[in-house]
Amino acid sequence: MIQFPTGKQSDFVAVGRLCIDLNANEINRPMEDTVTFTKYVGGSPANICIGMARLGLNAGFVGKVADDQMGRFIVRYLEQNGISTSGVVTDRTGAVTGLAFTEIKSPTDCSILMYRDNVADLLLEPSEVNEELIAGTRLLLISGTALAQSPSREAVFQALEYARRHGAVIAFDLDYRPYTWKSDEETAVFYNLAAEKCDIIIGTREEFDMMEQFGENPERSDEITASKWFGYKAGIVVIKHGKEGSIAYTKDGNSHRADSFQAKVIKTFGAGDSYAAGFLYGLMQQWSVSDCMRYGSAAAAIVVSSHSCSDAMPTAKQVNDFIAQAEQGTQA
Amino acid sequence: MIQFPTGKQSDFVAVGRLCIDLNANEINRPMEDTVTFTKYVGGSPANICIGMARLGLNAGFVGKVADDQMGRFIVRYLEQNGISTSGVVTDRTGAVTGLAFTEIKSPTDCSILMYRDNVADLLLEPSEVNEELIAGTRLLLISGTALAQSPSREAVFQALEYARRHGAVIAFDLDYRPYTWKSDEETAVFYNLAAEKCDIIIGTREEFDMMEQFGENPERSDEITASKWFGYKAGIVVIKHGKEGSIAYTKDGNSHRADSFQAKVIKTFGAGDSYAAGFLYGLMQQWSVSDCMRYGSAAAAIVVSSHSCSDAMPTAKQVNDFIAQAEQGTQA
Amino acid sequence: MIQFPTGKQSDFVAVGRLCIDLNANEINRPMEDTVTFTKYVGGSPANICIGMARLGLNAGFVGKVADDQMGRFIVRYLEQNGISTSGVVTDRTGAVTGLAFTEIKSPTDCSILMYRDNVADLLLEPSEVNEELIAGTRLLLISGTALAQSPSREAVFQALEYARRHGAVIAFDLDYRPYTWKSDEETAVFYNLAAEKCDIIIGTREEFDMMEQFGENPERSDEITASKWFGYKAGIVVIKHGKEGSIAYTKDGNSHRADSFQAKVIKTFGAGDSYAAGFLYGLMQQWSVSDCMRYGSAAAAIVVSSHSCSDAMPTAKQVNDFIAQAEQGTQA
Amino acid sequence: MIQFPTGKQSDFVAVGRLCIDLNANEINRPMEDTVTFTKYVGGSPANICIGMARLGLNAGFVGKVADDQMGRFIVRYLEQNGISTSGVVTDRTGAVTGLAFTEIKSPTDCSILMYRDNVADLLLEPSEVNEELIAGTRLLLISGTALAQSPSREAVFQALEYARRHGAVIAFDLDYRPYTWKSDEETAVFYNLAAEKCDIIIGTREEFDMMEQFGENPERSDEITASKWFGYKAGIVVIKHGKEGSIAYTKDGNSHRADSFQAKVIKTFGAGDSYAAGFLYGLMQQWSVSDCMRYGSAAAAIVVSSHSCSDAMPTAKQVNDFIAQAEQGTQA
């Protein structure tokens, strides 16, 4: 199992995208028919970081925000959630905040309209990565989107170097989104370079397929995928198969399957982020892999039943209550 | 006075920006404190075109929208307002719809957070300008923002050439916004090239100053400004001085001053667009310049008292009622 | 005929491209087989300007050079030819000097390998255009290549505005080259905007076709082409038909045909530039159009018999001797 | 020492820059005074590859050339030197061939005027990297310049992955040049990522300093530099100190100093490339490190005494004769 360092002042630091979700208030219809939107902090690593803070961990963020009302809203929200923003720098070039307008046609037919041109989060420079913050944390999370463009791409590799230098455990949430990448090949090359340096890798089967496009795993075998990364630095590889659940491989040769909880789904957004928060939280408590997966699944079930992602991230009490109810069969 | 051609099938065609306004629902506070936004069609020429249609004219639009929910919403809204969209083409490159988030700190302290990177409206190509639509109209309106970038810039000059070829009157709403322009000099050069070809030019004193930065009017004299354009093609030049009202010069050597109506101001956005619609509408009715200015001012007073720009554009009955009430001193 | 202003301190100013020709020393073979190259100043307006200076006129240049050895070589060569370089500014952004490697497979099969990325000449800013130099000259020459990209494009329009303001005659050498233009439509729009402001327009039939791509001259009639520009400001329009000679239209309704002289052709490069220099020189002497064309053709015949373009530009004595020899049938 | 695989069909494959040197024929003066230039194939990995072929090895190249006369000249020259060009693809986007104009003011004052905008060599795609060629070779050489921009950057990492997969030894010639890099930080990040995967690393002290700018070696100690890379994959690290000679560290803890031979220096260009060729050749013969350094120094002395780089790369006989002469003190 993963050994986390002790004697660090913080538990968790995420690096990467900070953006805004604009969620349609009128749901179960196409966006052409929606009129009002509600604003939330968004971005996969932001959501995970908020999730970790809600679960009670001491968390911080390394990222870049626009010098505008959206950027200030993001910083304020992180601080209101007790997250250290000493690693969040402000862009001075006139970049904007990334936006995600969500469209919820039905609980199973959701899509996102993204604004990712000239966004502040991709302008984080390697020299702006706060070494002290990373030196003082037990777990660093990187997220694939931050690799999509320079200089944010280099900033991620710099963060990985600082984590290596100071002994932080590194988790990689693949979080692949096609925006801003120039080609699948470019994506594969940098995802692989980053994954070589990580202890925990979490992604969907499709995301791992994209990383293996240069021919080494034509059968798309989960086992081959996992064993490749055990040949580098990884100790745990989690591969998600959508409705069919997920499977976690550990370096000792074991694997663990998990199913999702039943939930009154409003939308699917945020499921992966809340799962990652719950799973990583469990690992830091030294729980069994199965318990970690169960905890992540419960957190995901809570978030997909809510209107937002970040704002719906549950506390430990909420997750525990949810699991208790589910076990009693009293879950609605 | 301006002579409009007869025997044309439509009254008015605007070319340029089509975008989305996201107006804060919670007003009189900074945007950091707003949570929900309402979506409207926006963009200065779009607003003017909607205004002209509301006033009863046969109107059409030449522009480009994104291939997404926002773009489809815009086209649908124009059609719902009886505006011909045969000249509106759809981008296929993945461009987005321009956004304007409005912040209303107080009725006199309003600002806009713009998203203008990779927007569809600036991708209109000269070959996509619908010659038939322009050939069939009495008045073409161009708007300065569309000159800010290629290929939209060339499309505007192509529209001007078609209007010249087919005898349409041309109005130029300067509508200068600093986004996407590379330098003030670039702005001045293209604004001047366009203004040389226009019959009616409407702008603020600051906008005309920007066009005269290469030294020909150091005293910033309205008369020198107007007479410069009478040396080219213009018949009317309207120079707006904010709270101090506006002044219209005509080629015959006359000038006309107008004041604004009193209004319960919610926000200042949309004042210029509704003024332009009212003023141009009057000119097409062959009213006196003073009456045109009065009509424009009344339309502006109605719009600044409302939450939106486009959606608040008044009908002729609303403008007439407003003027009648104002004359009776019964205006609230 | 064109009336040139009097009382000006200089005869001629060209604005636009300054670059380097690298002419293959080993000729009549593909460039793959050439090993050494000789360096010359190049660029159409540079060649014409050098031609005018060689013919005895007081000439100057408005342009931008790279801050490197190539840029310094260009400035020095202009000065050695008595051309004022007070209007030549130096780039500080790290741009390079445009290059043209010439390949002479046979006297009639010549091509050019161009380096036009990030070139200094296209970075001339409107504010860097020397108004004083243009105010003090009788004839301003613009060249189409300088319209190919911002900010050089705006600088050309600024130069046109200064020439108009100060009463200089304006000549436009179309000099269309496909490099750096984004589309034919963009080319047509800006060529037309510039040509509207010019007194003398010189180009090939193909160049005029490109300007008329939006449908106004489907028969490609020279007369329609010329009459279009007489409707704006032009007094003379010269249309070149390659081997079939050229035709000059004048606003008074006359036209003049001219044939080329026989010459021992080494390469075809530089023929157009030397023709333009000779023709414009003649106009400034108030010669008949036919004599101007004859003088231009003689200058062209001299240049195509030489290895270089700029360096081979003839003096008045050389042109006169050439014509005398040709008339005596003693031309080699 | 480095163990090279056996049973491979080729000895050496280089990946990266293929370009053209234009060497001033008139030397010992500034380039402003030079008039003619001679054309050679250039680019550091090209020079090293030509050097290896001249020394008798079976060599190939992975790279991209422009679809023009310069590109065809390069491919032809490689083939004339017996180098496999099955891995050289041709650009179809209109990119140009990189150029290096050399200026030789004196034997010790040499500089280069580079053309590196829109060059074909930086457009090599990961999918264009010939896996078969790399699978069949004993030694792969990468060169830092190819890391300067996408997609060439990704292609290098793909080549490294193929070399790892098929067991080729990997040499990294740092060859840092500031062109096209956006920042020193970007340079450091990618140089480090690449160096982690290499068996042999050769560079100047300044190049290693640039890689260590994030603070891990403030004293700029050669030993700390070398030991860092031994912590990854390297077996030999060569650090060059200009006139003071070079030092090679081996993983077994030893270090070896070498001085340069005396030579009639014409210019300093090409010294590093010929050194690298000689040194790597020696390693492939399983010579002692000292003998390899001596062989590299002799090759360098021969090249700096010549007008070109690539064309002057010596054969094994030339190097042996040079060393023999030097040992007899008969070297001029």
Q: Answer for the pair C311, C42: CB distance below 8 angstroms, yes or no.
A: no
B258-273: average pLDDT? 89
Domain assignment of residue A265, yes or no? yes
Q: Is the pLDDT of residue B19 over 50?
A: yes
Count Cα atoms within 13 angstroms, Cβ side, for C244.
6
Q: Which residue of B has its CA nearest to C213?
A: B127
Which of D124, D152, D161, D193 is best to mutate for the A interface (most A CBs within 10 A)?
D193
Which pLDDT belongs to residue B332? 44
What are the chain A neighbours of B307 within 8 Å (beta carbons)? none
CA C248 remoteness from chain centre: 17
Q: Does B214 sit within 8 Å of C185, measured CB to CB?
A: no
Nearest CA-CA distance, residue B282 and chain C, Å: 32
And the tokens for B193? 């090239």
- From the list A168, A103, A97, the residue with the least C-alpha distance to A131 is A168
What DSSP character marks residue A96?
B
Which pLDDT belongs to residue D305? 93
Sequence-separated (6 or more) residues with CB below 8 Å from residue A44: A16, A17, A143, A145, A173, A175, A272, A273
Subunits close to C (at least 3 CB pairs below 8 A): B, D
Q: Answer for the pair C121, C91: CB distance below 8 angstroms, yes or no.
A: no
Q: Could you tell me how many residues make up chain A?
A: 332
Nearest CA-CA distance, residue A42 and chain D, Å: 28
Which pLDDT belongs to residue D55? 98
Amino acid at A14: A
Helix axes D44-54, D69-80, angle to 10 degrees: 30
Domain assignment of residue D2, yes or no? no
Spatial distance between the Cα atoms of B229 and B232, rounded to a whole number of angstroms? 5
Spatial distance between the Cα atoms of A292 and A287, rounded to a whole number of angstroms? 6
Closest to C193 (Cβ–Cβ): which among B125, B157, B182? B157
What are the chain B neighbours of A103 within 8 Å (beta carbons)? 69
Q: Answer for the pair B323, B298: CB distance below 8 angstroms, yes or no.
A: yes
Task: Collapse the DSSP code of A40 into the 3-class scheme (helix H, G, I; strand E, B; otherwise coil) and give the result.
Answer: strand
Nearest CA-CA distance, residue D20 and chain C, Å: 11
What are the chain B neighbours of C157 within 8 Å (beta carbons)? 189, 193
- From the list C58, C74, C51, C45, the residue with the least C-alpha distance to C300 is C51
Determine if residue C253 is left, alpha or beta; phi over 0 gives left, psi from -120 to 50 gives alpha, anything else beta.
left
Give the number of beta-carbon pairs within 8 Å between C and D: 60
Q: Could you tell me how many residues make up chain D?
A: 332
The CATH number assigned to the domain holding D68 equals 3.40.1190.20
Q: Answer for the pair B174, B146: CB distance below 8 angstroms, yes or no.
A: no
Q: Does A126 sit within 8 Å of D186, measured CB to CB?
A: yes
Asked if C27 is an interface residue toward chain B (Cβ–Cβ < 8 A), one would say: no
- Using H for helix, E for strand and C for coil, what is the string for chain C? CCCCCCCCCEEEEEECCCEEEEEECCCCCCHHHCCEEEEEEECHHHHHHHHHHHCCCCEEEEEEECCCHHHHHHHHHHHHCCCEEEEEEECCCCCECCEEEEEEEECCEEEEEEECCCEHHHHCCHHHCCHHHHHCEEEEEEEHHHHCCCCHHHHHHHHHHHHHHHCCEEEEECCCCCCCCCCHHHHHHHHHHHHCCCCEEEEEHHHHHHHCCCCCCCCCCHHHHHHHHHCCCCCEEEEECHHHCEEEEECCCCEEEECCCCCCCCCCCCHHHHHHHHHHHHHHCCCCHHHHHHHHHHHHHHHHCCCCCHHHCCCHHHHHHHHHHHHCCCCC
Domain assignment of residue A25, yes or no? yes
Q: Taking the alpha carbons of A185, A190, A193, A198 in that order, is the dihedral positive or negative?
A: negative
What are the chain A neighbours of B182 within 8 Å (beta carbons)? none
Q: Give pLDDT tens digits along chain A (332 positions).
A: 799 999 999 999 999 999 999 999 998 999 999 999 999 999 999 999 999 999 999 999 999 999 999 999 999 999 999 999 999 999 999 999 999 999 989 888 889 999 999 999 999 999 999 999 999 999 999 999 999 999 999 999 999 999 999 999 999 999 999 888 999 999 999 999 999 999 999 999 999 999 998 877 989 999 999 999 999 999 999 999 987 889 999 999 999 998 889 889 888 889 999 999 999 999 999 999 999 999 999 999 999 999 899 999 999 999 999 999 998 875 44
Q: Can you name the residues that pair with B170 across neighbouring β-strands?
A: B140
Q: Does A117 sit within 8 Å of B96, measured CB to CB?
A: yes
Amino acid at C328: Q
Asked if B183 is an interface residue toward chain C (Cβ–Cβ < 8 A), one would say: yes
Asked if C80 is an interface residue toward chain D (Cβ–Cβ < 8 A), one would say: no
Asked if C259 is an interface residue toward chain B (Cβ–Cβ < 8 A), one would say: no
pLDDT for B88-143, tens place per residue? Answer: 999 999 999 999 999 989 888 889 999 999 999 999 999 999 999 999 999 999 99
Q: Answer for the pair A229, A265: CB distance below 8 angstroms, yes or no.
A: no
Q: Answer for the pair A322, A298: CB distance below 8 angstroms, yes or no.
A: yes
Domain assignment of residue B256, yes or no? yes
Nearest CA-CA distance, residue A26 and chain B, Å: 11
Closest to A185 (Cβ–Cβ): which among D154, D183, D216? D154
Sequence-separated (6 or more) residues with CB below 8 Å from residue C41: C18, C19, C20, C21, C50, C73, C74, C77, C78, C310, C311
Backbone angles phi, psi at D24, to 5 degrees: -60, 130
Subunits close to D (at least 3 CB pairs below 8 A): A, C
Domain span at A170:
13-331
Our answer on whether B and C touch (3+ beta-carbon pairs < 8 Å) is yes
Count Cα atoms within 13 angstroms, Cβ side, for A93.
13
Nearest CA-CA distance, residue B324 and chain A, Å: 34
Helix (H) or strand (E) holding B196: none
What are the chain B neighbours of C188 within 8 Å (beta carbons)? 126
Q: Which residue of C has its CA nearest to B197?
A: C193
Asked if A41 is an interface residue toward chain B (Cβ–Cβ < 8 A), one would say: no
Q: Which residue of A has its CA nearest to D149?
A: A150
Asked if B214 is an interface residue toward chain C (Cβ–Cβ < 8 A), one would say: yes
Which pLDDT belongs to residue C6? 95
DSSP D129-198: S-HHHHHTEEEEEEEGGGGSSTTHHHHHHHHHHHHHHHT-EEEEE-----TT-S-HHHHHHHHHHHHTT-
Which pLDDT belongs to residue A61? 98
CA-only gyration radius of chain B, Å: 19
Sequence-separated (6 or more) residues with CB below 8 Å from residue D258: D245, D246, D247, D248, D290, D293, D294, D296, D297
Spatial distance between the Cα atoms of D201 and D142, rounded to a whole number of angstroms? 10
Residue labelled with tokens 């692989």: A192
pLDDT for B285-305, tens place per residue? Answer: 999 999 999 999 999 999 999
Asked if A150 is an interface residue toward chain D (Cβ–Cβ < 8 A), one would say: yes
B44-68: average pLDDT? 98
pTM: 0.95
Backbone angles phi, psi at B330, to 5 degrees: -95, 0
Domain assignment of residue A3, yes or no? no
Nearest CA-CA distance, residue B33 and chain A, Å: 8
CA C136 remoteness from chain centre: 21
Q: Which residue of A has its CA nearest to B70?
A: A32
Q: Could you tell me how many residues make up chain B?
A: 332
pLDDT for C54-82, tens place per residue? Answer: 999 999 999 999 999 999 999 999 999 99
CB atoms within 10 A of CB B206: 13
Q: Does B99 sit within 8 Å of A115, measured CB to CB?
A: yes
Weakly modelled stretches of chain D, pLDDT under 70: 330-332
Q: Is the pLDDT of residue C180 over 90?
A: no
CA distances from A295 to A218, A259, A261, A331 (A): 33, 11, 10, 16
Which pLDDT belongs to residue D245? 85
Nearest CA-CA distance, residue B157 and chain C, Å: 7
- From the list B50, B110, B43, B44, the residue with the least C-alpha distance to B71 is B43
Which pLDDT belongs to residue B330? 56
**Between C242 and B152, whose confidence is greater?**
B152
β-pairing verdict for A19-24 and A36-42? antiparallel
Asked if D331 is an interface residue toward chain C (Cβ–Cβ < 8 A), one would say: no
Of the pLDDT bands very low, low, confident and very high (cuts 50, 70, 90), residue B243 is confident
Spatial distance between the Cα atoms of B332 and B320, rounded to a whole number of angstroms? 15
Spatial distance between the Cα atoms of B181 and B149, rounded to a whole number of angstroms? 7
Amino acid at A171: A
- Give CA angle at B297 (B205, B266), nearest 5°: 95
Nearest CA-CA distance, residue B159 and chain A, Å: 29
| A:234-253 residues touching chain B, CB 8 A cutoff | none
Spatial distance between the Cα atoms of C20 and D131, rounded to a whole number of angstroms? 41
Q: Does B113 sit within 8 Å of A32, measured CB to CB?
A: no
What are the chain C neighbours of D72 within 8 Å (beta carbons)? 32
What are the chain D neighbours of C24 within 8 Å (beta carbons)? none
Q: Is the pLDDT of residue C330 over 80?
A: no
Q: Does D150 sit within 8 Å of A182, measured CB to CB?
A: yes
Q: Which residue of B has its CA nearest to A119?
A: B117
Subunits close to B (at least 3 CB pairs below 8 A): A, C
Nearest CA-CA distance, residue D72 and chain C, Å: 7
What is the arrangement of strands in the sheet containing D137-143, beginning at the earlier edge strand? D84-90, D59-65, D10-15, D137-143, D169-173, D200-204, D236-240, D246-250, D255-258
Q: In chain B, what's the furthest Cα-to-Cα distance?
A: 55
Domain assignment of residue A162, yes or no? yes
CB atoms within 10 A of CB A221: 11
CB atoms within 10 A of CB A84: 22
Q: What's the CA dihedral at B133, B137, B143, B146 to 10 degrees?
A: 10
CB atoms within 10 A of CB B330: 8
Q: Answer for the pair A140, A163: CB distance below 8 angstroms, yes or no.
A: yes
What are the chain A neighbours of D158 within 8 Å (beta carbons)? 185, 189, 214
Q: Does C186 sit within 8 Å of B161, measured CB to CB?
A: no
Our answer on whether A and C touch (3+ beta-carbon pairs < 8 Å) is no
Which of B69, B75, B91, B114 is best to mutate for the A interface (most A CBs within 10 A)?
B69
Mean of the per-residue pLDDT values of chain B: 95
Q: By CB neighbour count within 10 A (0-12 exposed, 13-18 middle, 19+ buried), where does B309 fall? A: buried
What DSSP character marks residue D96?
B
Task: Collapse the DSSP code of D199 into the 3-class scheme (helix H, G, I; strand E, B; otherwise coil) and give the result.
Answer: coil
Which pLDDT belongs to residue D332? 44
Closest to D69 (Cβ–Cβ): which among C25, C32, C73? C32
Sequence-separated (6 or more) residues with CB below 8 Å from residue B34: A39, B24, B25, B26, B27, B103
**Cis peptide, bond prior to residue A151, ω within 30 of zero:** yes
Q: Does D188 sit within 8 Å of A157, measured CB to CB?
A: no
Spatial distance between the Cα atoms of C77 and C61, rounded to a whole number of angstroms? 12
Domain assignment of residue A6, yes or no? no
Domain assignment of residue A7, yes or no? no
Asked if A103 is an interface residue toward chain B (Cβ–Cβ < 8 A), one would say: yes
What are the chain D neighbours of C149 within 8 Å (beta carbons)? none
CB atoms within 10 A of CB B254: 9
Amino acid at A293: M
Percent of chain D with pLDDT over 90: 87
Spatial distance between the Cα atoms of C203 and C220, rounded to a whole number of angstroms? 14
User: How many structural domains are present in chain D?
Assistant: 1
What are the chain D neighbours of A158 within 8 Å (beta carbons)? 185, 189, 214
Which pLDDT belongs to residue C331? 46
